[in-house]
Amino acid sequence: MLEKYKEQLPEDNIFMYCNKVNKEEFTILTNEYNFRYLYKTELEIWKSLPFDGNYTNTYDDFMTDYYNNVYKIRENEFYNKCIVVCNKNDEIIGSCFLWKLDEKINTLHWLKVKREYEGKGIGRALISKILENIRKTDLPIFLHTQLGSYRAIKLYSDFGFKIITNDKIGNRINNIDKCISKLIENIPEKYFRKIKYTKVSKRYLDIFKEKNLNDF
């Protein structure tokens, strides 16, 4: 959908899949922070959040087009789903939400905690909040991440997400070999050994391919 950004934005796709949530990993926020939904007046803040102060024109154009193509047609739903974490000054420091593609596939979108707030358990509490009311009928949940997000990959795996080993999801290459090398280099062996892998069934691959679902 956003082909024009291929040369400007890195393509290092990693895909994960969860068909059973590990609720033993659930945590809650400390009293310093609170959850709420994104306000319509805060869209520009949300768009810049993933880039930690490096929000160039390229990223702004990409996020604007992404929002317009993926969420705008279901704008009210977007604002009713997009969960943010705020500090005591009500400043947004993190965000994530579930989004259903084509009314068939649940996906986890745009997990981000500002760099200065990392390591405080906010990301884990945020995913816990999102998954706390998941039913069996809501599963599986897919997500897309990048090679450099090895800490997030470890976090996702704690909640039951497995790294997908299929070569492609839709029309996107799955950089599985590079991902494994990156994880070996950057996370302790005891955590690496807990990460699980899976192939996705043809049923889901056909949906992604047929509908060209790249919106996660």
Whether this prediction's pTM lies above 0.95 is answered by: no
Rounded CA separation 142/105 (Å): 8
pLDDT (mean) for 45-56: 84
Helices (H), the chain: 43-48, 57-66, 75-81, 122-131, 150-158, 176-186, 189-192, 202-211
Q: Does the residue 117 lie in any domain? A: no
Query: 168 near 212, Cβ under 8 Å?
Result: no
Residue, of 45 and 211, whose pLDDT is higher: 45
Predicted pLDDT of residue 79: 98
Average pLDDT over the chain reads 88
Q: Indicate if 15 and 52 belong to the same structural domain.
A: no
Q: Indicate if 15 and 38 belong to the same structural domain.
A: no
- Residue 1 binned pLDDT confidence (cut-offs 50, 70, 90): very low
- Reading phi first (left if > 0) and then psi (alpha if -120 to 50, else beta), residue 31 is in alpha
Q: Indicate if 127 and 171 belong to the same structural domain.
A: no
Q: Indicate if 21 and 39 belong to the same structural domain.
A: no
Q: Does the residue 113 lie in any domain? A: no
Q: Does the residue 114 lie in any domain? A: no
User: Which residue pairs from 57-62 have beta carbons closer than 8 angstroms and sit at least 24 positions apart in sequence?
Assistant: 58/5, 58/8, 58/9, 59/9, 61/5, 62/2, 62/5, 62/8, 62/9
Neighbours of 88 (CB within 10 A): 9
Whether the predicted pLDDT of 144 surpasses 60: yes
pLDDT (tens digit per residue) in 163-204: 999 999 988 889 888 888 888 888 889 888 999 999 999 888
Q: Residue 35: give the domain boundaries.
A: 27-97+122-131
pLDDT (tens digit per residue) in 80-113: 999 999 999 999 999 999 999 877 789 999 999 9
- Residue 211 binned pLDDT confidence (cut-offs 50, 70, 90): low
Q: Indicate if 19 and 31 belong to the same structural domain.
A: no
Rounded to 10 deg, the angle between the 176-186 and 150-158 helix axes is 90
Q: Indicate if 148 and 82 belong to the same structural domain.
A: no
Residue, of 130 and 192, whose pLDDT is higher: 130
Predicted pLDDT of residue 7: 45
